[in-house]
Amino acid sequence: MTDLTGKTIAVLATDGFEQSELTEPKRRLEAMGARVDVVSLPGKDSIRGWDKKDWGEAVPVDKVLGQVAASDYDALVLPGGVINPDHLRQEVTAVDFVKAFAAADKPVAAICHGPWMLVESGLAKGRKLTSWGSLKTDLSNAGAQWQDSEVVVDGNIITSRNPGDIPAFSEAIANAVAG
């Protein structure tokens, strides 16, 4: 197992994140020794997940946008769920947070509908990416080359399709952070 002791990872999310796409990578990365902070919008003490077909469990928010910077972290994780990234991509501070990781050449990992944040932040253009299948056209229109793969790593951008890809997604994040 990859040792991430001393590494810090931000997970940017708000209400409506896909439950397993936040909690499972967080659990796996913490098991490797990383500190993982759930970062959300101001005014949020906790955020509620979407668990397949209904509301899931609440997750505590560790930090809020405006209190953190990309320089505080070694990587950024963007979970999916339809509601979560659709709301975040309308928030300038959230988009700027994603852009700051890219500008610092730090890993940005997005799963399922999370790549919508890559589109909004301009990071999709010229990249090989994957996502939930319904985002294929969105990513292609944003200039990405979409692939139907468990995990795609293109430079500092890591993408996966769905909850079934979480083991490979988490391992790719760990390798990027450790490397």
Question: Would you call 87 a catalytic residue per the annotation?
Answer: no
Q: Which one is catalytic: 113, 132, 165, 173?
A: 113
Q: Which one is catalytic: 112, 118, 124, 174?
A: 112
The full DSSP string for the chain is: ----TT-EEEEE--TTEEHHHHHHHHHHHHHTT-EEEEEE-TT-SEEEEEETTEEEEEEE--EETTS--GGG-SEEEE---SHHHHHHTT-HHHHHHHHHHHHTT--EEEETTTTHHHHHTT-STT-EE---GGGHHHHHHTT-EE---SEEEETTEEEE-SGGGHHHHHHHHHHHHH-
Question: Would you call 113 a catalytic residue per the annotation?
Answer: yes
Catalytic residues: 112-113
